[in-house]
Every structure is written in structure tokens, then in C-alpha cells.
Structure 1
Amino acid sequence: MATGTDPHVRTGARGVHGTLRAAIPERHLRTDRWWLPPAATAAGLLAFVVYSTWRAFSNADYYDAPYVSPFYSPCLAENCEPMRDGPNWALFGTWWGLSPAILILILPLGFRLTCYYYRKAYYRGFWASPPACAVPEPRQKYTGETRFPLIMQNIHRYFFYAAMLVASILTYDTVLAFRDEHYEWGHMGLGTVVFAANAVLLWMYTLSCHSCRHIVGGRLKHFSKHPVRYRLWGWVGKLNARHARLAWYSLISVALADLYVYLLAIGAFDDPTIF
């Protein structure tokens, strides 16, 4: 076995460059563009963070009857713009002076931050932990998710229930989108389609979650004795295989839904009527 006195073994190093590992000069042997996926991931997530932060703190142009931005629904403060018949409760009264979006975005944000796929995405994209397969991370010590703050990732299962609530509310907003600007039923505009597509993608992403799969079929010793749960577990499993794609599709759709409402609110164009 190699020791620290072997000339072909690095001394005084830890991790992949530890004293019990061969002293290979190259950091890795990959010759492809391994850096491209983590770079693209970091760019995509950074773009969403910048956009959503701007929209959340702008506290304006988030409502154009009958559409309300998914970033601001439900409104939980009295400083919201009037939204008739919407899922809004002024739980925080008049003392809340900041943007009402901050009150609700913490729920879907917490769900996505603790999501198993997003952990992999931003661990690689922003922290290079590790940046790619067969490429060592730059740190000498790896602690995983055993210390604060990463140990907080274990609350993902609880954010799943919050995400279910948010998806339900946005589904209700989609139902309300079948009204015109005078709140008369029987209308369908392009915004209705945008909201419906966003609601479907959010549900697919939420239900494809690993926590959902465990809740549906976890801790069962005999699937044969639980045919209904087994069938549901199979459906969730098929969605789970597409969890990464659904994470991105739903992230883009919620941003596009907000952008659509913003453009309507500033008068960039009128909502095209389908019927």
C-alpha cells in the first residue's frame, strides 16, 4: 500500500489529492466540454433569480383583470391591488409595507431550493461540488448536508405540502381566468391558456417530486396488498423519471405567466380573445 513517503503520492493534501492516492498531475482525464452543462445551469438559474427578485420587489404591474401574477397569488397583505373574487386573505393587515410577493414566494422557493434535482443543479453550477462526473471539487474536505445550513435541506418533505397548496391556488386562479375584464364567465383569452399550461406544469413538477413518490408508495412491504397505492406509485414513478425536465419547464412557465401579466398591466398589448 502506498504511504506518504512514496514519491508518486502527494503529501500534505486531502480529498482526491490525499496521501493514499496516486499523484496524477491532471485534475481529471475528461476531454469533452464537461464544464458546459454546469455553466448553462448556473446561467439559467441566475437569470431566473434576477428576474424573480426584480418582479417580487417591484410591487407593481402584477394584476390585469382577470389575471394575477403567480408571484403575487394569493395576496396576504392589505397593500395588494384590489382583486375581486380572488384567493386573497389580508392576514398581514396594513403593517406589512413590503411587496406582498415576499409573503408567498417563500413557499415555492423553499420547495425548489430543497428539491433533490435543484440541489444537484446549483451544487454543481454554483459551488462546483462537484462540477461534473469524474471532475473533483476544489475543496479539500467534503461534509455533504450534515452541517448548517445544508442540513436544512431535510425539510424538503414539508415544503412539498406547501407546494401542493400553492399549486392548488394557482389552479383556482386558472379557473378565474375564464372570465373577462368585467368578471363575466364564458371568456377565454391567451392569458387563460398561459395560466392553464403553467398550472399543469406546476402540478406535474410537484407530483414528480421524490417526496411525493415516497408518500404514495413508501414503507410498503407488499405492493400486492395495496393495489391502489401501487398504481399511484407507478404513475408518480413515471413522472419522477422526468423530474429534471419538469423542474425547468415549470420554472420557465411560471416566469412567462408573470411576464405575460406584467406586459398586460403596463399596456404593451391587449389580451387576445379566443372566445
Structure 2
Amino acid sequence: MSAPAKDAENDVSREGTGVRAPGRARIADRTLRTDRWWLQPLLTVLGLATFIVYATVRAFVRTAYWVPDYHYLTPFYSPCVSTSCVAGSSHFGHWFGAFPSWLPLGALVLPFLLGFRLTCYYYRKAYYRSVWFSPPACAVAEPHARYSGETRLPLIIQNVHRYFFYVATIVSLVNTYDAIMAFRSPSGFGFGLGNIIIVANVVLLWAYTLSCHSCRHVTGGRLKHFSKHPVRYWVWTKVSKLNTRHMALAWTTLGTLVLTDLYVMLVSSGAIADLRFVG
């Protein structure tokens, strides 16, 4: 590289990129927008923070997560495979001994589910804009001088999203099994309001998981001729339609997870009685 080119590159590095790049208009104001552009990032932060606080507390309290009469198990504790789990809640047996008090009983899968959400294409957009302000809104300058993209640490880790997708699919199967096991009562088969909530949550979790961009790539990616793969093309078209609702499902499933856990907690603690339809 010639000396003038190196000097120019150094100048760009010093001055920054994006709105601070050489040749861009020097506007002192962060933005000229007069609308409430900050409202969407604020609501996103509040929504994510609410879920994180609630889920963190519930993951560590180790109480009111299992209803023995109806086999209701909250998704925050599934699968429960430690000897620390209350009797009956370990649908897949005990794989580990007693967990220390600082370790969540759902620790086997919680890190993978957290990784799946954190690296999700929609959630990236959500917290990049609302937490990192990169950028917070259209036509609003971000505070960062430079941005290297997802090509180096730590953001290069986002590229493992496809592997978290595989684990999330397995966890969805586990949650489906939990939902089936919940159709019980002291007299045999039965179902109540809790079953409706648990099944609805599982269905929406499947919809969110399958609407993932990685799932769309798995079903139809790298195909040069759809005509030679009619089955994969059919699956790809269905996943693509679901993919357009990925953002809505990302938020909806946060709500249904909280609702399901809250309902199981209230029934398990005796605060309310499950509304039974059969059994």
C-alpha cells in the first residue's frame, strides 16, 4: 500500500466511520427528528429487562415449579434431571446428583436457550438498537466511533446461532413431552386450564423455533434447483411464511413463557386452584 493510501486509512481510523466518516456532513445535533424516536428503543429495553429479571428470579428460587396432581412442570425447570428436583418432576430420570443452591435446576438447557435467543437475528436487531444504540433509530447518530461488524470478538460468536437452533429444537421436543405428560389427574386422564396454557406455550415455542432464519436456511439453503427438490422446496416455502412473523413470535413466546411459569407457580403454591374440565 502506498504512503498516501496508508495516511488516508489512518485518517479514517482516527475520525471514525458511519456518520463520522470523512466527507459526511458535520451536524452537531444527534438527530434532526422531532418525533418520539426514542420510544421504541425504550419499550424494547423495558420488555427485555422485565423478562430477564422475572426469568432469573424464577430460575433460582427452586420452589413452586411442579404440580404433582396434574403433572404440570414449568418450562424454566424442564428437563429437571437432578436429584435436587422434587419427586415426580424428573420426566427423564436423574442424570446428576444434587445441584448446589446457586445452580438453577434447569441448568442443563438454560444456557443453550439463552444463547439461542441472544444470537437470534431479531433479538440482535432489538438489543443492538435499544441497548448499544447501534443505531437507536433511523437518522439518529450512534455514539460509537467505529463498528467492525460481526467479524471479530465478541460479536463473531453470533455466528454459532445455527447450532443453538439445533439444541432449541431438542428442547422443544422435551417441552412437547412435558405437555403430553400433563394430561393427567389423580383419577387418570384429565385436563384443565393449565393444559391449555402449557400446550399453547409449546405450540408458540415451536412456531418461534421453526420461524428461525437458520431453520429457513436448513430447509432450503444451498439448493441451486428447487425443481429437483420438491419436498424441501415445499418445506422452505412454509418456513419462509412463518419467518415473516419471527419478530412477533419472539415477543409472544416471552409472554407465554412467563404466563405458563406464573400459572404453574400459583397452582403449585396453592394460591389458586386449577380450573379442571376433565378429571
Q: Normalising by structure 2, what TM-score? A: 0.89
Aligned 1:115-154 pairs, distance under 5 A: 115-154=120-159
> How far apart are 1:95 and its partner, in Å?
5.5
Residue equivalent to 1:39: 42
Q: Normalising by structure 1, what TM-score? A: 0.90
Residue equivalent to 1:88: 92
> How far apart are 1:96 and its partner, in Å?
4.7
Indicate yes or no: 2:167 matched with 1:162: yes
16-25 or 232-241, which deviates more: 16-25
Task: Provide the rounded CA distance (Å) in 1 between the counterparts of 2:192 and 2:210.
Answer: 27
Matched-pair identity in %:
54
Match of 1:176 among 164, 169, 181: 181
Residue equivalent to 1:189: 192
Q: CA RMSD in A?
A: 1.5
Contact 1:73/1:88, CA 8 A, preserved across alignment: no
Q: Which amino acid aligns with 2:125?
A: K
SS of equivalent to 2:75:
coil
Residue equivalent to 1:220: 223
Contact 2:136/2:142, CA 8 A, preserved across alignment: yes
145-154 or 239-248, which deviates more: 145-154
SS of equivalent to 1:34:
coil
Match of 2:16 among 3, 14, 20: 14
Q: Which amino acid aligns with 1:153?
A: Q
Structure 1: runs of 5 or more not aligned: 1-11
Task: Provide the rounded CA distance (Å) in 2 between the counterparts of 1:161 and 1:81.
Answer: 29
Q: Which amino acid aligns with 2:210?
A: L
Aligned 1:52-63 pairs, distance under 5 A: 52-63=55-66
Residue equivalent to 1:210: 213
Aligned residues: 261
Aligned 1:58-77 pairs, distance under 5 A: 58-65=61-68, 66-77=71-82
4+ runs of 1 displaced by more than 6 Å? none
| Aligned CA distance change for structure 1 residues 95 and 255 (closer, same or farther; 3 Å) | closer
Contact 2:99/2:105, CA 8 A, preserved across alignment: no
Task: Provide the rounded CA distance (Å) in 2 between the counterparts of 1:261 and 1:119.
Answer: 30
